[in-house]
Amino acid sequence: MATLKDVAQRAGVTVTTVSRMLNSRVRVSPETQARIQAAMQELGYYPNEMARSLARKNSSFIGLIVPSAQNYFFAELIHHIEAASESHGCKLLLCVSNQDAQKEQEYYQMLIGNKVMGVIMANYGQNFEAISRSKAPMVVFERPDNQQIPCAMTDDFQGGHLAGEHMIGKGCRHLLYLSGNAAKNNISKRRFDGLAAACAEHGLTQPALIEATWDEFVAMNYDASVSRIFQEYPNVDGVFTSNDIMAAGVVQYCRRHHISIPKKLKVVGYDDTSFAALCAMPLTTIHQPIEELARHAVECIIRRANGDAVPTTALFPVRLVERETT
Amino acid sequence: MATLKDVAQRAGVTVTTVSRMLNSRVRVSPETQARIQAAMQELGYYPNEMARSLARKNSSFIGLIVPSAQNYFFAELIHHIEAASESHGCKLLLCVSNQDAQKEQEYYQMLIGNKVMGVIMANYGQNFEAISRSKAPMVVFERPDNQQIPCAMTDDFQGGHLAGEHMIGKGCRHLLYLSGNAAKNNISKRRFDGLAAACAEHGLTQPALIEATWDEFVAMNYDASVSRIFQEYPNVDGVFTSNDIMAAGVVQYCRRHHISIPKKLKVVGYDDTSFAALCAMPLTTIHQPIEELARHAVECIIRRANGDAVPTTALFPVRLVERETT
DNA sequence: TTTCATTACTATACCATGAAATTAAAAATG
DNA sequence: CATTTTTAATTTCATGGTATAGTAATGAAA
């Protein structure tokens, strides 16, 4: 590959001049500019980003750590984060952690080693001290223990509450929350709390709770947990799930067991990925503003890289989308 | 961040020694090794990958260009390519082209500029000359014009043929192919040819053809094309689609219009992503070995980086998975 | 004393950046 | 008009963190 030097030589100037033309807005005479342009054309020059990063002590990479890339929610998140990155001239380094805390750490190290502009973590393993040490800006999709870290999140409590209100309004009396693998984490807890609050407000008992496993998340098959619902809580008439895939699983189960939806059972999913509308029975679900979330996260990083102030926490509202399962 | 120099200083050796220990298999005495290890620990040293890449003239990045990250097929592809990369110690640079040939070029340039080990293109824009110039190994998921480029693909003709055989065997007489946005591309053509061959073998007329648009692909909503099917070919009794999302669209349409599946109409999808089993009506579909494909692509790159020979073309068989739509 | 293993030293390369210095040309001054 | 000042355009030089080749030095074992 042609280097700056080659271009400079061909254009009859020094490397600095070429570099200046490319990077700084200091004037370069039009003639030299033309000569350099021509030389670059002829040689098919493209700067070595490695050298750039080294010299500048930072790259234009943005690291993204997600637990899965297959899962629809994260697939959309990835999609939008890529788009947002690209629109800011950044490149996306994608890391799939499989929810493995160890891997998360390793990936994080690797990203820091690659001098990324910032790291976005979509699943924030609990004890993550390394972060505070490094000074690479980081954004998290979860309320971090460390208040220094910017955070973009949606209003999970509201989501649970909306779902509860909706189902109760439709006549449900026995609610159940089918929680994701992250049952003990805050996201799940907040949603549950929202749901529970709605129950309390209407004088209903606490919602029941079933926790799916991580394996089910990976396999995108929640059959085991879904059937537990009906074994353990036969009189349930409203199910709220942690994601749309689970909701689809419930719908499928009911179809096989001739439980009519929405008459006998109402189902509210979560995320509102395109999948929610694609199931043969379109899901009522809580819509998460994934694109806004993604944009916000990327912007946090860009701003911090520019030395601008960054809001510590941003809370995005969610909304309920009514379709056919309620 | 601590640098090699810092580590060397602390361990009382020269950078060369530390570097040697990290990179070459030349012997370093156990004591020095221990001292260096300790120093690295204490300083939390992690090598600057930028500097490494620069010095070595290559990085351990693998670039992946896909038209979309949301689309289920590509989401799974991404997932598996990430996994395969990681297992070889490589990092994944994800690029979403939106099927824009211009963007594809730009991304490709960018990747070359980042000295990636290789590029995997999941949608291979036609006239892509830049490739031949650069010598970064590249793998494509499509039969390339350029025979130099390794290529991993599945047997699309077989896929079409299987679908045809299956539907004809189930009694269909009027087949239709709902083609993806890439109707004019080879993939789609080969599938159609396979389907047509099956028809011919059974003395049926050529299958009808409807082409979806790129916009529909992006929106993951094929309503417009789906309804065209029934307007233009009211007597169709078997639909073969280019992906599972389309098939789900057909199923949904039929559900709304009380066309019973599989009695009146049979549907065969393509890809067999997890989505195929998740729809409320599980799809009969052509299974693509996405994981194997991904692994193969990554291995091609690794091998070429090691200077080993790489098979030019690898053709993977597909198989039909029968579920409830036929 | 020779031999060998280990480590140090030195220099150079990778490619680009950026601060400071230089040159050349244009403008202002007496 | 000669001289100084200003400005624009470009160059020189040092720098970033690591890799690597070649050579010298050290110390211990043969």
pLDDT tens sequence across A2-19? 899 999 989 989 998 999
A135 has pLDDT over 80: no
pLDDT in tens, A234-253: 999 999 999 999 999 999 99
User: Any chain B CB within 8 A of the CB of A119?
Assistant: no
The reported pLDDT for the residue numbered B47 is 93
Task: Decide which of A215 and A207 is more confident.
Answer: A207
Fold of domain A58-154+290-316: Rossmann fold (3.40.50)
Report residue A118's pLDDT band, with 50, 70 and 90 as the boundaries.
very high
Nearest CA-CA distance, residue B98 and chain A, Å: 10
**What are the beta bridge partners of residue B211?**
B179
- Read off the pLDDT of residues A146-180 as tens digits, 9 standing for 90 and up: 777 888 899 999 999 999 999 999 999 999 999 98
Average pLDDT score over residue span B101-113: 91
- Determine which helix (DSSP H) or strand (DSSP E) holds A94, and give its type and residue range: strand A91-96
**Distance to chain A for B6, nearest Cα, Å:** 16
pLDDT digits (tens, 9 = 90+) for B145-185: 777 788 889 999 999 999 999 999 999 999 999 998 664 67
Taking chain B, what is the end-to-end CA distance rounded to the nearest angstrom? 61
Tell how many helices (H) and how many strands (E) occur in chain A.
Answer: 14, 12
Residue B300 CA to residue B94 CA, distance in Å, equals 18
- According to the model, what pLDDT value does residue B143 have? 73
In percent, how much of chain A has pLDDT > 90? Answer: 64
| Residues 50-79 of chain A whose Cβ lies under 8 A from any Cβ of chain B | 50-51, 53-54, 59, 61, 68-70, 72, 75-76, 78-79
The sheet with strand B61-66 has its strands ordered as A313-316, A151-154, A138-140, A118-121, A61-66, A91-96, B91-96, B61-66, B118-121, B138-140, B151-154, B313-316
Nearest nt to the A11 alpha carbon by C1' = D10
pTM of the model: 0.93
Rounded to 5 degrees, what are φ and ψ at B296? -60, -45
B113 to chain A, any CB pair closer than 8 A? The answer is: yes
Tell me the chain A residues in contact with residue B75 when contact means C-beta distances shorter than 8 Å.
Answer: 69-70, 72, 75, 78
Q: Tens digit of pLDDT for each residue in B293-305?
A: 999 999 999 998 8
Q: Cite the residue boundaries of each domain of chain A with CATH code 3.40.50.2300.
A: 58-154+290-316, 156-289
Question: What's the rounded mean pLDDT across residues A184-200?
Answer: 90
Architecture of the CATH domain A4-47: Orthogonal Bundle (1.10)
Does residue A130 surpass a pLDDT of 60? Answer: no
Query: What pLDDT, on a 0 to 100 scale, did the predictor assign at position A128?
Result: 60
Residues of chain A with CATH 1.10.260.40: 4-47
CA pair distance B174, B205, nearest whole angstrom: 8
Strand, helix or coil for residue B120: strand
The answer to whether the bond into A262 is cis (omega within 30° of 0) is yes
B14-46 confidence digits (pLDDT tens) = 898 899 888 877 778 888 888 989 999 989 899
The secondary structure of chain B in percent helix, strand, coil, rounded to multiples of 5, reads 45, 15, 35
**Distance in Å, alpha carbon of B325 to nearest chain A alpha carbon:** 12
Give the distance, in angstroms, between residue A16 CA and nucleotide D1 C1'.
38
Which bases of strand C have any atom within 7 Å of the beta carbon of a protein residue? 5-11, 13-20
Categorize the per-residue pLDDT at A32 as very low, low, confident or very high, splitting at 50, 70 and 90.
confident
Q: What is the pLDDT of residues B52-97, one digit of tens each?
A: 999 998 899 999 999 999 999 999 999 999 999 999 999 999 999 9
A156-289: CATH class? alpha beta
pLDDT of B128 over the 70 cut: no
Range B58-154+290-317: architecture per CATH: 3-Layer(aba) Sandwich (3.40)
- Compute the C-alpha angle B268/B274/B278, nearest 5°: 80
Render pLDDT for A73-109 as a digit per residue (tens, 0 to 9). 999 999 999 999 999 999 999 999 988 888 988 999 9
Residue B130 is predicted with a pLDDT of 56
- The answer to whether A82 contacts B95, with C-beta atoms less than 8 Å apart, is yes
pLDDT, tens only, A289-301: 999 999 999 999 9
Distance B70 CA to C15 C1' (A): 37
Given a cut of 80, whether residue A144 has pLDDT beyond it is: no
